[in-house]
Amino acid sequence: MTSDNRGRGKRLWIQSGADLGRHEGYADGLRQRAQSIVGPDVELRVEGMPPGSYAPGASGHETFTEWTLTHHYGAIYIAERAVQAEREGFDGFIMPSFMDHGVALARAAAKIPVTGFTEAALAVSRAFADPVAFVSPHQGHARFLRRLLDSYGAARHRVATLAPPLMPDEVIAGKVPRERVIAAFEATVRALEPSEFEAVIPAEAFLATSLGTGPVQLADSAVPVLDGFAMGFAFVQALMALSPIATMQTSRAGRYAHVDYTRASHVRRVLRDGM
């Protein structure tokens, strides 16, 4: 059972999968948007991947999503940050990405609530629409998201790719005008078969930030655009509120079986030293 901390303000660790040093202003924007959702009483800490951790000549998406080996290296780093967050007294941990990078490992490693944007979107969006269409910025992102949704048992939901595709690093760096992002998103949604979904979720943080929320006009109806950013932070805030309740704890019977971190660190150290 976690300690009952309902008498103090909550603390939330936001673990980006990006090297924040490469994107000036991104961390501040992320913090401000999150604060507007969770409210002023929640203390936020925004962290990224270590500087220079992208593979030489590669993007963050390639390094931590498309390439299986480096994806797992990144997931281990994220899980260890979740353990650090727990030790430092944080009440929750969120991966603000629709790749849910490291979320399963982090949940197995730490005892505080852990979630990512896609998991949160699936949990919350059903109260608004079912099924939904997730719009990915490019094909590599869409392939990974499709596999992730299937692993969550969410095969009924659609994944579409932005046309023309946009690379997140370019948008975050301000190289793509907001108007171009909006135009590409609306054109992509209009090209979909309306009978296959009831709402749309922009499946990348920059898309959610650029678009805000509102209807996308189709031929004969307006399809709601659900804000994945807002759903993610509202969901982790709900998990933090539930965690002090003794009966609302993560199961350790299967996928999230927990091992004491001291013992886990021993295994990792021996394996590393044996390489």
| Class for the domain spanning 11-119+231-273 | alpha beta
Q: Is the pLDDT of residue 97 over 50?
A: yes
Q: Computed from CA positions of residues 110, 249, 245, 232, in that sequence, does the dihedral angle turn out positive or negative?
A: positive
In this predicted structure, the answer to whether residue 40 has a pLDDT above a threshold of 80 is yes
pLDDT of residue 2 exceeding 50, the answer is: no
Residue in the block written with tokens 């394996």: 271
Give the model confidence (pLDDT) of 158-217 as tens digits: 999 998 888 777 776 667 777 888 888 888 988 888 888 999 999 987 777 666 655 566
**pLDDT at res. 238:** 96
Percent of the chain with pLDDT over 70: 90
Distance (Å, whole) CA 111 – CA 82: 9
Report whether pLDDT(6) > 50. no
Q: What is the pLDDT of residue 73?
A: 92
Sign of torsion over alpha carbons 209, 214, 218, 223: positive
Domain with CATH 3.40.50.1860 in the chain: 11-119+231-273
pLDDT at 4 over 60: no
Q: Which helix (H) or strand (E) holds 169?
A: helix 168-172
Tell me what the mean pLDDT of segment 93-120 comes to.
95
Phi-psi category of residue 257: left, alpha or beta, with phi > 0 → left and psi -120 to 50 → alpha: beta
Identify the residue whose tokens are 């990144």: 74
Q: In this predicted structure, what is the pLDDT of residue 36?
A: 93
Beta partners for residue 184, in sequence order = none
Q: Which of 64, 73, 30 is nearest to 205 (CA)?
A: 30
What pLDDT is attached to residue 211? Answer: 67
d(CA 102, CA 85): 14
Q: Of the given ranges (100-114, 180-194, 253-267), which has the lowest mean pLDDT? A: 253-267
Q: Residue 133 pLDDT more than 60? A: yes
- Mean pLDDT over 6-26 rounds to 83
User: In this predicted model, what pLDDT tens digit does every residue of 45-70 receive, in sequence order?
Assistant: 999 999 999 889 888 888 888 888 99
- Its pTM stands at 0.89
What value does the mean pLDDT take over residues 232-249?
92
Query: What average pLDDT does this structure show over 9-34?
Result: 89
Q: What is the pLDDT of residue 3?
A: 44
Q: Quick one: CATH architecture of 129-225?
A: 3-Layer(aba) Sandwich (3.40)
What is the structure's pLDDT at 66?
A: 85
Q: Please state the rounded mean pLDDT for residues 19-34.
A: 86
* Residues near 258 by beta carbon (within 8 Å), at least 6 away in sequence: 108, 109, 111, 250, 252
* CA-to-CA separations, 203 to 52, 89, 134, 137, 211, in angstroms, rounded: 26, 30, 6, 8, 11
Asked whether the beta carbons of 114 and 82 are under 8 A apart, the reply is yes
The pLDDT score that the predictor gives to residue 190 is: 86
Angle at the Cα of 83 from the Cα atoms of 50 and 14, rounded to 5 degrees: 55
Who has greater pLDDT, 102 or 165?
A: 102
